[in-house]
Each structure stands twice: as C-alpha cells, then as structure tokens.
Amino acid sequence: MYKQTLIAATNAGASELKRFFNGKFIISHKEGINNLVTEADHASDKAIRSVIKSAFPDHGIVSEESAEKISESDYRWIIDPIDGTVNFANGIPICCVSIGLEYKGEMLMGAVYNPNLEEFFFAEKGKGATLNREKISVSSKTRLVTSCLVTGFPYTYLEQPNGPLEVFSKLIKKGIPVRRLGSAAIDLCWVAAGRFDGFYEHELHAWDSAAGYLMVEEAGGKVTNLKGEKYDPFQPGIIATNGQIHDELQKVIAGGAVNETV
C-alpha cells in the first residue's frame, strides 16, 4: 500500500509538471531573486498531497511548497513537488518530482520522476534501487582524480571556510570534471545509476535529498554529511558517492588537497 501510494503520488505530481512545462504559468520569488516558485509547483504539491491524504490521512507531510502537516503518526512524507524549479521555469528538462517516505526517522522508500526524460527512479530500504524497474548500481571508479562529479550552489552564497566555490575551484584546477545540473534529486539518482561518481553540496533541504540519498545507498553507494558522519536529510550538507572515492572527496571538502596520483 505504501509503495503504490508513493508511485501514484509521484505520477500525480509529474502530470502537473508535464502539463505546465514549456507553457505559461505564474512565477513568484522566495528569498533571493532567482529562488523561484511557480504555479506548477503549487499544482504538483496539491496533487501529491491529495493522493497521500486519501490513502493515509493521519500521516505527517513535509513539503517545500506548503506548511508542514504535523501528525502523531510515525510516518512522514517528504515532498519536493518540482525539484529544479529554475530549470523548469526556463524550459530546461532537468527537473523532477521527488518524494521520500520516512518511518520513525528512517527513510523507507523514495521515488524521483523526471517525466521529460521518462526516468522513474525508485528505492526501497533493503531492496535496492531501480530506474524504470531495472536495477541500478553505482560506478566502480576508485580515484577522485579520475572521477566525474556533480554539485550545486546555494542561492545565498555561504561565506565559510572551504565553501562551495573554494571546493569547486580545487577540483577543477586539477582537471576533475564537476557538473552542475540544477536538481539535487536528479544529481543523487544519477550517482545511484553510475553516471556520476560523486555528488556534494553545502546547503540542501530535506525535500531535496530525502528520496535521492536512499537511492544512492540502495544502489551500493555511501552518503554522509560534509564531515563524513551519518547523514540526516534535515541538516544541510551532503556527500554521496560510489563509496570508493568517498573518503578522498570528504577530505578535499574538509580543506585537504586533491591527490593527483592515479
């Protein structure tokens, strides 16, 4: 019942994303001129909530685009109605619906669906991760210097030691390719699928990563906070890798140098 509801809710949100994509819609601004929310985000949020509330009216819900539904239930749905809203608003097809289901603080399952590319990622705790029902696994790269990475930058730049630009600069100065797609949920899924070897970001919200980090773990990868400690989606920093390059990447993010030995 949980899996069916998750899939139905993800499809409902994706239908709204697809309906509005490349069309006309109202755009508003959150904190920061480019931190957008659109009419489609709200429509997707409404559709997703409707499915979840119909099946589990007592469950808690945390969504980027609406007030948290507090509940005494041990279950909590963590929703990003459209992850990659700036991409969406500009007609860039790298955007998705992301939903995770949590039980007593542990992520049980997650779904990430980009209807533009027809890619539906799904993961369930202890049962692996899939892309369009086919099992996926992380890459086998063993060295950071030969890896392909992906990252994101916050809308309000963080003035901190080893901040986003400092880490990015260290990596690219050593010739390491670092991409920037604009959707953390897709970044994580593409690590899970072996397209990227690692992802890091200094500032995320739970709805950005709840489904995606489970995807990486269930595909055989490793996810921690920026200090290399146990990951909690309700704290900001994340490192998600194939596991092989994790310690190297974490050391660079902590202030260390890139080991150039192949």
Do 108 and 162 lie in a common domain?
Answer: no
Q: Which pLDDT belongs to residue 259?
A: 86
9 plus 128 within the same structural domain: yes
Per-residue pLDDT tens digits for 99-121? 999 999 999 999 999 999 999 99
Q: How does DSSP assign 155-183, residue by residue?
A: SS---STT-HHHHHHHHHHTT--EE--S-
Give the contacts of 136 (CB within 8 A, at least 6 positions apart).
121, 129, 130, 192, 193, 194, 219
User: In this structure, are 111 and 186 located in the same domain?
Assistant: no
* Mean pLDDT value across residues 5-31: 89
> 135, 164, 179 — which closes off a domain?
135
Q: Do 153 and 108 share a structural domain?
A: no
Q: Which helix (H) or strand (E) holds 82?
A: strand 75-83
190 lies in the same domain as 105: no
Residue 36 has pLDDT above 90, yes or no: no
Q: Domain boundary residue among 80, 114, 135?
A: 135
pLDDT value of residue 261: 72
| pLDDT exceeds cutoff 70 at 196 | yes
Check whether 157 has a pLDDT greater than 90: no
Nearest to 185 by CA among 217, 154, 207, 218: 207
Quick check: 33 pLDDT over 90? no
Is 22 a domain residue?
A: yes
For the chain, give the number of residues. 262
Average pLDDT, the chain: 94
65 and 171 in a single domain? The answer is no
Indicate the residue among 118, 135, 152 that finishes a domain. 135
Average pLDDT of the segment spanning 5-28: 92
Whether residue 259 is contained in a domain is answered as: no
Model confidence at 260, in pLDDT bands (50, 70, 90)?
A: confident
* 261 lies in some domain: no
Question: In this predicted structure, what is the pLDDT of residue 22?
Answer: 86
Structure tokens at 169: 């600069």
User: pLDDT tens-digit profile of 126-140?
Assistant: 999 999 999 999 999
**260 part of a folded domain:** no
User: Within the chain, where are the H helices?
Assistant: 2-20, 39-55, 85-89, 164-173, 184-192, 206-218, 246-253
Same domain for 67 and 41: yes
**93 and 192 both lie in a single domain:** no
Helix or strand holding residue 30 (H, E): none
Q: Which of 88, 99, 65, 95 is nearest to 183 (CA)?
A: 95
Residue 158: pLDDT band with limits 50, 70, 90: low
pLDDT at 216: 98
What is the DSSP secondary-structure string of 115-157? TTTTEEEEEETTTEEEETTEE--------GGG--EEE---SS-
- Stated pTM of the model: 0.95
Structural domain boundaries enclosing 112: 2-135
Return the sign of the alpha-carbon dihedral for residues 180, 185, 188, 189: negative
CATH number of domain containing 177: 3.40.190.80
For residues 124 and 110, give the distance between their C-alpha atoms in angstroms, rounded to a whole number: 7
Same domain, 205 and 111: no
Where residue 75 falls (left for φ over 0; alpha for ψ -120 to 50; beta otherwise) is: beta
CATH number at residue 99: 3.30.540.10
> How many domains does the chain contain in total?
2
121 lies in the same domain as 14? yes
191 plus 235 within the same structural domain = yes
Buried b (16+ CB within 10 A) or exposed e, 172-205: eeeebebeebbbbbbbbbbbbbbbbbbbbbbbbb
Distance of CA 239 to the CA centre of its chain: 11
